[in-house]
Structure 1
Amino acid sequence: MSQPLDLNQLAQNIKQWGAELGFQHVGITDTDLSASEPKLQAWLDNQYHGEMEWM
């Protein structure tokens, strides 16, 4: 039977691999971005996106 996935160890491995590949920083975040949506909308409403019309 296989061992349960150790997410902390996986995160450390990913960060180490990134460093070995020359990245200065590797970050890991949650995929739930629902809390960020109102902030993004306010940023767009304030036209902080400049000439990035695709946003």
Structure 2
Amino acid sequence: MSPSPVPHVKAKNTPPTFLWATAADALVPAENSTRMATALAAAGVQAKSMCLRAAGTA
């Protein structure tokens, strides 16, 4: 089983989604949000995403 939610994206059961990430986050790469946004778009799920430049994980 994948720890990523990306393989589980389905248009029929995924609600509209807002994703945000920080480019400076050393723990969780912003690329994870990009992959999720791409999967949501491919499934026809309404989504918005934002990547902040100068913040990291607290």
Flag the structure with more relative contact order, 1 or 2, with Cα contacts below 8 A and sequence separation at least 6.
2
Bigger strand fraction: 2
Same fold (TM over 0.5): no
Larger radius of gyration: 1
TM band (smaller chain): 0.3 to 0.5
**Please, what TM-score do these two structures have when normalized by structure 1?**
0.33
**Please, what TM-score do these two structures have when normalized by structure 2?**
0.32
Bigger helix fraction: 1
